[in-house]
Structure 1
Amino acid sequence: MKDYIKVIGFDADDTLFINEPYFDEAEEKFCALFEDFLSKQSISQTLFQTQINNLPFYGYGIKGYILSMIEAANKISDGKVSIKVTEKILEIGKELLQKPIVLLDGIEDTLKQLHGKYKLIVVTKGDLKDQHRKVSLSGLGPYFHHIEVLSEKDEIDYEKLLKRLDIDASDFLMIGNSLKSDVLPVLNIGGTAIHIPFHTTWAHERIDHEIVHDKFYTAITNAEILPLLL
């Protein structure tokens, strides 16, 4: 791998720093607001489906999540959600925007050792301003050439990215926690991918089949990346 990779893309959320546990915590608080209306499972499912339906309009990120919570609340309460509850939902969203940036174990040392040997970039989804803010606050910004915030991580999005970078797919490695977004589309266009599993993954990012590919690798920890690249 070290003989042909020129550019390494790192996912941000749950690859560089913690993210999904904060959303899980927010969902718990949201469900508690409507425990008199439906079961927790039904509330979670309504919120999830609302998020998925809204992705074409709001994209990924906290701001879209807040809007989806408000819409889901209206559905769950059959239009009877109060101003007070709506204010509590907004508070949940603002808390998400102020969560601390917690780096994943070993990531800074990994970036430090790869920096200067490869062009490192962040390739992520979400709100443009929020993702730039998180990378800046993480202290990891100096290791990266630049940040790419994509609306989606489909094959066509990666192909456009490679065109902007002026490299072939064979020159590109993507590292991330999502098999659906960070691995499959990159492999499908001829790139290389390393999956670093995170202990919790949003349902929308899960796949139900095993990946077998000669350019696919799994690293349980960040430290396991280095022997593949140095």
Structure 2
Amino acid sequence: MQTIGFDADDTLWHNERFFHLTQQRFAELLADYAEADHLGAQLLEAEKRNIGHYGFGVKGFVLSMIETAIEVTEGRVPGHVIQKLLEAGQDMLNHPMELLPHAQEAVEALADSHMLVLVTKGDLLHQERKLAQSGLGDLFDRIEIVSDKQPSTYARIFGSCSGGPEAAMMVGNSLKSDVCPAIDVGSWGVHVPFELAWALEAADIPDSPRFVELPDLGGLAELVRQID
């Protein structure tokens, strides 16, 4: 093993819980117009439609909430509700970054022995800000903030590293974005589940000898030693 890729959101630091909290606030603001379950389903459909336009991250999420609010109110959404949604998005962008348990120790334990690559998707400025706040930036040899995570993404990133994809491992909380596409190009995929998950990141567990699941990042360094 020569290269280890880490996902960022909900692998190294908290992210999804802020989306869940904001969606709860969204449901409260639109309670007079739609039930929470129906509103959530409408929002998810809007997010699906808009990924190609806005990409991943808070900004696209806020625009999808506004679009959904317009739809469910048939264009009658009050201006103060739109303002509240914009403020909620700003709060998400400015929320202090909080590392997950064992994240710092896992990265530090592998930094001297392996090439470390951060592979994350989302808004460029927001991801850069979170990385700066994390204190982990100097431990990574490369930072890759990408628009999406497909097998071609890992083929490009790991293909330019010593040993290629076969000598690489990708660590993350998403089977769809972090694990499966990395395994597809010959890398190891290590799944570290997070308690909250975005519906659009659901995927089946891969049937591969290069798939491993860990309960948290505390066991990652030992896993890498065993594989090496």
Could you say whether these structures have the same fold, taking a TM-score greater than 0.5 normalized by the shorter chain as the test? yes
Partner in structure 2 of residue 226 of structure 1:
221
- Structure 2 residue 116 is matched with structure 1 residue 124: no
| Structure 1 counterpart of 2:48, one-letter code | I
- Sequence identity, in percent? 35
Residue in 1 that maps onto 2:49: 53
Distance in structure 2 (CA, Å) of the matches to 1:79 and 1:8: 48
Is the aligned partner of 1:102 residue 2:94? no
Q: What's the TM-score once normalised by structure 1's chain length? A: 0.94
Q: 1:187 aligns with which of 183, 194, 197?
A: 183
Q: What is the distance in 2 between the residues matched to 1:11 and 1:228? A: 17
The one-letter amino acid paired with 2:222 is P
The answer to whether 1:149 aligns with 2:145 is yes
How far does the alpha carbon of each residue in 1:106-154 deviate from its partner, in whole angstroms, 9 at most, with x for none?
Answer: 1111111111100111101101111111011011111111210111111
Give the C-alpha shift of residue 165 in structure 1.
3.4
Query: Partner residue of 2:5?
Result: 9
**Preserved contact between residue 31 and residue 43 of structure 1 (Cα < 8 Å):** yes
Superposition deviation, residue 212 in structure 1: 2.3
For structure 1, the 5+ residue unaligned runs are: none
- Residue 156 of structure 1: how far off its partner (Å): 1.5
* Count of matched residue pairs: 225
Could you tell me how far 1:166 is from its partner in structure 2?
A: 5.8
Task: Check the 8 A contact 1:120/1:145 in 2, yes or no.
Answer: yes
Aligned residue among 205, 211, 219 for 1:216: 211
**1:89-119: per-residue Cα shift (whole Å, max 9, x none)?**
1011011011121111011111111111001
Indicate yes or no: 2:189 matched with 1:202. Answer: no
Structure 2 Cα separation of the partners of residues 34 and 218 of structure 1: 39
- Kindly report structure 1 stretches of 4+ aligned residues shifted beyond 3 Å: 163-167
Instruction: Quote the Cα distance in structure 2 between the aligned partners of 1:130 and 1:210.
Output: 30
The normalised TM-score by structure 2 is 0.95
Query: Whole-Å Cα distance in 1 between the matches of residues 79 and 53 of structure 2?
Result: 24
Distance, in Å, in 2 between the alignment partners of 1:193 and 1:55 is 25
Report the CA distance between 1:25 and its aligned residue: 0.2
Mapped contact 1:132–1:147 kept (Cα < 8 A): no
The residue number in structure 1 matching 2:14 is 18
Distance 2:115 2:205 in 1: 30
Check if 1:70 corresponds to 2:66.
yes
The root-mean-square deviation of aligned C-alpha atoms, in Å, is 1.2
- SS at 1:165 equivalent: coil
Q: Could you give the per-residue CA deviations for residues 42-101 of structure 1, whole angstroms, max 9, x where no partner exists?
A: 101111110110000100011111111111111111111121111011011011011121
Paired residue type of 1:11: D
